[in-house]
Structure 1
Amino acid sequence: MKRSLFQKYFACVLVFILAMGIVQVPAKANTFDVNAKAAILVDAETGKILYEKNSEAALGIASMTKMMTEYLLLEAVKEGKVTWDQEYTVSPELSKMSHDEGLSNVYLRVEGKYKVEDLYAAMAIESANAATIAIAEIVAGTEANFVQQMNDKAKELGFQKYKFVNSTGLNNRDLVKHNFPVVGGEEEENVMSARDVATLAYYLIKEFPEVLETSSIPEKKFAEGTEDEFLMDNWNWMIEGYAQVAEDYPNYQQFVYDGVDGLKTGSTDFAGYCFTGTAVKNDQRFITVVMNTSSQGERFIETRKILDYAFNNFAKEEIVSKDYQVKGYKSLPVIKGKEDQVKIQTKDSISLVLQGGEKENFQPVLTLDKDKLNEDGELTAPIKKGDKVGTLTIESKDEQAIQFLNAAGQKSVTVDVVAASDVEKANWFVLMMRGIGGFFGDIWGSVSSTVKGWF
């Protein structure tokens, strides 16, 4: 009987404890996931990583490779090494490859002459492989030379997990069967990590935003007005405006996503179905990468999932305002000046893409420039308004580093701290009187201390 009463009493106490929250049930973990072997979501402005899954693994990238070919071509055009109206003459081998029905292509005639601008559109929209090799030869002379440039550029941009063996993203066997010399093994393909793919997309959009003007075109005629005219369809079904595709694939509309204007699809047996996407709404742009999904449609479905997650959960917020003053460091002492201190403040504001409520997790951290201060932590007059005296950055309160694609991202959360006003140097008379005052002040201090010691 006593045991029964004790059990009832214990049960009541346990219920009360649970109700009061003294014993807490662990919160459910974030269940957001992407059905792909690797994926990543980043803020296109700063490169801040907002979501990642297996993003460091080197995987096949298929025709997403062509983003690097685009980058090198656009760079060559910018530097004046290549012009858009420059013509390329097609070899018999390349013409034969362009007629391979098993590969994405536009037809190129033997000895046909094609402008760089048309070949670029064919590569970016139709993912035309023979046109891509033509561009590689235009930029570097040979495919092998171009592949070296690709790997050199990858190193320069700070990629970590990558290897380029061709300009197209095909398996090397597809080049060998058309008698093209290959770099590396005859069964090799290009590989990159999702993080490196996102970094490539980040730089491509940052440095050559005009790439989006082409990547957002749903359909375009290749070599329009010539005997080689060919209607190209963009493999990115998330953009609006198809006509031909709508006839062949009436369900493509389910993949369309408002704001998507790029960037590049890819698929091989080795790589699976991949997609680097980008979308903009309300001046906020995100970059997404999904790798090794199981079907043509799934890569777009999973990208939609990521973009919904991004636009529904993240927004740009100001964390530190312009002219912000750090508590406890609103001014610095000044020597040899008409004033003995000067206010200091941030030169610019700091904003970052955050989830709701995440702003409270960050704190400002001030770093003063030791070269500007004497051993007593004082500035020396004269001081000009706007003179840099240090930097301020934001850090996570839980000591978890804010993850960016590159070092440039870290700079986006760091601003200069400057003097808020001028401090003129005091004239010789004022400095002399201060010196005299200090001298007698020290004597008086010593006398005062001595006298106090007598009592």
Structure 2
Amino acid sequence: MEKYKIKILKGLLPFFCFLIYFFAKSVSVNAASIDNYNENQVNLDVKSALAIDVNSGQILYAKNANKKLPVASMSKLITVYLTLDAIKNKEISWNQRVQPTKQIVAVSNDPEYSGIPLQMNHSYTIKQLYEATLIDSANGPAMLLGEVISGSQQAFVKKMRQQLSTWNITGGGTQLVTPSGLPNYTLGEESFKDKDKDAENILSASDMAIIISHLLKEFPQVLDTTSKAHSSFIDQDQTISMESSNWMLKGLSEYDSNYPVDGLKTGTTDAAGACFSATMQKEGQRIATVILGAQHVDGTDPSRFTQTKKLMDYIFDHYQIKEITAKNKVPKITRVKIDDGEKKSALVYMKKPIKLWLPKEQKISNLKVKFSKSALQAPITKNEKVGEFYISNLPALNSSHGVGVEATVHENIEEINPLMKLISYISQAAKKYYQSIFNYGEKREKNSKSKVKTKKDEKPYPDPVNLAKAGTWSKKSEDKAYPDLTKVKNLWIRVSLKENRTYIMSGNKPIYTMLSTGGTYHKNKSDTPTGTYYIQEERGDDFYNNELNEGAKYYVSWKDHGVYLFHSVPTKSDGSINKKEAAKLGRSSGSHGCIRLSVPDSKWLAETVPVGTKVVIKDK
């Protein structure tokens, strides 16, 4: 990884940013604003739709996903979540028996609405109400769950609103008025007076996907109930048959083994139209889809399920599931600065592999990845989460950065003691003050060249006759085969900064000469440190620094484990060569501290030079 020096203000000490590895060959997307994504790839006859991977939050398809629309009974999933949360916290229990109010009994027996008819002075278990809410989409049981959890319908709706706020589901148009998804007036005397009597619960497809993700991740046992096509509701001596409104379940009319759906919830009102949220597993990955406002004729029209199948077909045809691991180098290892630590930097790794949905034509190597932090704060415990790698060209739910992969370090890093911290701060302040006096770094390479000119006879070794012309970055430096480094006796590498040459040495003899570019000179001092170093284990195919709009191909570290590298001439954000900078190769200085080589030379060196090979860097 290249060490980048940035002059932040005239006269201040330049500081070194530690490179963030990631791939830069795809167009980045701002996931937080994803409203439409791949919407032109499939023609869905719906008002809004969304498809996600539940585990990663990756968005696979979006059509008007942020548009606020009535969601009808799908909002019962919030009621179900809060019920399971209350069970978990022992606020209620499955066998607890409760009685409905007069208003709840009236709604549950209204033939206009779906559900189980509850009776006055009858008691029902929380388990019965929970199953009726999910399987039969029963409104009375959903209302009674809210009543027992919060004491009243209004209090429970306020709890629902608070939960949405916790999940960052806010914004204009978001509205909750009932636990069931029915209009506001169904609460009777408890209806919200500041809302129209016909007001309904309004959310977006993205909002519903967030709710579903939390429900499935925190309470996966909900699928034990949502996967049931049929069940029974026993009320004293009466047994009422329940059939799921999710017709895609096995045993119902829209079941298809190609779509092994095991949840979740339908919703229908005149305002909402036909809505449906579905979930299933594909190759071990759980996806969820949301359909809002499917065009339908009546209650017998399967349009919401037809549109869901069409969306799933697109996903299965368009994507392939790939596991991202350290082995396939996405994300690449990143070295990050440590503040107040006994170590100045540390390597950051993926905490665990992740499976992602990639378009079938997309390669893993084309993913664009960056680390979430520029520095970490000591102390740090081995294997704890320290941040995330963001894959910015794979949009994610409720994220402005793309799909996130947890990152960690493989070592404990202690905090320096307070006295050493104070000394460090004083030292840094003194350096800044000193440099501001002498305007350190004000003059760049153009003004320094006159001070570093050398005569040709000062070259440590004469150029070979077959050496390429200065500025040749796309070819080998010498028109001959590269040496087999495994057979070279007394192998070491010699770098001449002022002569812009790098020599592969066998004892005292140069056996291969490469055009190179070292660090820019300031006050007759190069950004590249001089001295004796050794090849380290960090190496790879490419990297890119998004903040500085510069990367490179093929690299191998020789100092500070990824801070100073041999690498190719620099690349742009699209992976193409920065030809203006490449023209400096073998001709002048210009790097931020690393040693630049031609593309073939850097590839050969990164792939063949042994760890531990001595590297001697001198001005001459």
TM-score, normalisation: structure 1? 0.71
Residue 48 of structure 2 is aligned to residue 38 of structure 1: yes
Which residue of 1 is the match for residue 294 of structure 2? 293
Whether contact under 8 Å (2:250, 2:256) holds in the other structure is no
Which ranges in structure 2 are unaligned for 5 or more consecutive residues?
A: 1-37, 414-529, 531-620
Q: CA deviation at 1:322?
A: 5.5
Which residue of 2 is the match for residue 393 of structure 1? 389
Which residue of 1 is the match for residue 309 of structure 2? 304
Q: 1:136 to 1:287 in 2, by over 3 A?
A: same
Return the alpha-carbon distance in structure 2 between the equivalents of residues 102 and 328 of structure 1: 60
Residue 168 of structure 2 is aligned to residue 164 of structure 1: no
Aligned pair partner of 2:80 in 70, 75, 84? 70
Residue 73 of structure 2 is aligned to residue 81 of structure 1: no
Deviations 1:375-416 (A, max 9, x none): xxxxxxxx99958897672544xxx5x322235996732422
Whether contact under 8 Å (1:323, 1:347) holds in the other structure is no
The residue identity in structure 2 corresponding to 1:157 is W
Whether contact under 8 Å (1:349, 1:415) holds in the other structure is no
Whether contact under 8 Å (1:278, 1:288) holds in the other structure is yes
Whether contact under 8 Å (2:136, 2:245) holds in the other structure is yes
Which residue of 2 is the match for residue 240 of structure 1? 250
Aligned pair partner of 2:190 in 181, 185, 188? 181
Q: 1:108 to 1:322 in 2, by over 3 A?
A: same
Return the alpha-carbon distance in structure 2 between the equivalents of residues 357 and 198 of structure 1: 27
Return the alpha-carbon distance in structure 2 between the equivalents of residues 29 and 40 of structure 1: 9
Whether contact under 8 Å (2:98, 2:148) holds in the other structure is yes
Which residue of 2 is the match for residue 205 of structure 1? 216
Is the partner of 2:307 in helix, strand or coil?
Answer: helix
Is the partner of 1:139 in helix, strand or coil?
Answer: helix
Return the alpha-carbon distance in structure 2 between the equivalents of residues 149 and 126 of structure 1: 24
TM-score, normalisation: structure 2? 0.53
Which residue of 2 is the match for residue 273 of structure 1? 274
Which residue of 1 is the match for residue 506 of structure 2? none
Q: 1:370 to 1:389 in 2, by over 3 A?
A: farther
Is the partner of 1:354 in helix, strand or coil?
Answer: strand
Q: 1:113 to 1:385 in 2, by over 3 A?
A: closer
Q: What's the % identity of the aligned pairs? A: 29
Q: CA deviation at 1:228?
A: 3.0
Is the partner of 1:82 in helix, strand or coil?
Answer: coil
Q: CA deviation at 1:417?
A: 4.4
Is the partner of 2:317 in helix, strand or coil?
Answer: helix
Q: CA deviation at 1:109?
A: 1.7
Aligned pair partner of 1:412 in 389, 395, 404? 404
Which ranges in structure 1 are unaligned for 5 or more consecutive residues?
A: 1-27, 243-251, 374-382, 422-444, 446-455
Is the partner of 1:147 in helix, strand or coil?
Answer: helix
Q: CA deviation at 1:44?
A: 1.0
Q: CA deviation at 1:139?
A: 0.7
Q: 1:323 to 1:368 in 2, by over 3 A?
A: farther
Deviates more, 1:203-212 or 1:387-396: 387-396
Return the alpha-carbon distance in structure 2 between the equivalents of residues 201 and 327 of structure 1: 32
**TM-align CA RMSD:** 3.7
Residue 305 of structure 2 is aligned to residue 317 of structure 1: no
Whether contact under 8 Å (1:314, 1:354) holds in the other structure is yes
The residue identity in structure 2 corresponding to 1:307 is M
Q: 1:418 to 1:86 in 2, by over 3 A?
A: same
Whether contact under 8 Å (1:386, 1:419) holds in the other structure is yes
Q: CA deviation at 1:192?
A: 0.0
Return the alpha-carbon distance in structure 1 between the equivalents of residues 160 and 365 of structure 2: 42
Is the partner of 1:72 in helix, strand or coil?
Answer: helix
Q: CA deviation at 1:158?
A: 1.1
Is the partner of 2:190 in helix, strand or coil?
Answer: coil
Q: 1:85 to 1:349 in 2, by over 3 A?
A: closer
Q: 1:271 to 1:255 in 2, by over 3 A?
A: farther
Which residue of 1 is the match for residue 143 of structure 2? 133
Return the alpha-carbon distance in structure 2 between the equivalents of residues 294 and 325 of structure 1: 42
Return the alpha-carbon distance in structure 1 between the equivalents of residues 179 and 203 of structure 2: 14
Which residue of 2 is the match for residue 424 of structure 1? none
Which residue of 2 is the match for residue 261 of structure 1? 262
Return the alpha-carbon distance in structure 1 between the equivalents of residues 390 and 85 of structure 2: 34
Return the alpha-carbon distance in structure 2 between the equivalents of residues 302 and 79 of structure 1: 38
Return the alpha-carbon distance in structure 1 between the equivalents of residues 249 and 385 of structure 2: 49
1:413-428 to 2 correspondence within 5 Å? 413-418=405-410
The residue identity in structure 2 corresponding to 1:231 is S
Return the alpha-carbon distance in structure 2 between the equivalents of residues 234 and 356 of structure 1: 35
The residue identity in structure 2 corresponding to 1:168 is S
Q: 1:212 to 1:409 in 2, by over 3 A?
A: farther
Residue 240 of structure 2 is aligned to residue 217 of structure 1: no
Whether contact under 8 Å (2:333, 2:349) holds in the other structure is no
Q: How many pairs were matched up?
A: 367
Whether contact under 8 Å (2:161, 2:176) holds in the other structure is yes
Is the partner of 1:106 in helix, strand or coil?
Answer: coil
Q: 1:144 to 1:386 in 2, by over 3 A?
A: closer
Q: 1:329 to 1:261 in 2, by over 3 A?
A: closer
Q: 1:143 to 1:257 in 2, by over 3 A?
A: farther
Deviates more, 1:65-74 or 1:294-303: 294-303
Q: 1:229 to 1:158 in 2, by over 3 A?
A: same
Return the alpha-carbon distance in structure 2 between the equivalents of residues 371 and 195 of structure 1: 32
Q: CA deviation at 1:258?
A: 3.3
Return the alpha-carbon distance in structure 2 between the equivalents of residues 98 and 283 of structure 1: 39
Is the partner of 2:280 in helix, strand or coil?
Answer: strand
Deviations 1:331-354 (A, max 9, x none): 99xxxx9x9999875554454222
Whether contact under 8 Å (2:390, 2:402) holds in the other structure is no
Residue 357 of structure 2 is aligned to residue 353 of structure 1: yes
Whether contact under 8 Å (1:365, 1:394) holds in the other structure is yes
Whether contact under 8 Å (1:257, 1:304) holds in the other structure is no
Q: 1:35 to 1:384 in 2, by over 3 A?
A: closer
Return the alpha-carbon distance in structure 1 between the equivalents of residues 99 and 279 of structure 2: 34
Whether contact under 8 Å (1:239, 1:256) holds in the other structure is no
1:86-101 to 2 correspondence within 5 Å? 86-101=96-111
Return the alpha-carbon distance in structure 2 between the equivalents of residues 154 and 325 of structure 1: 34
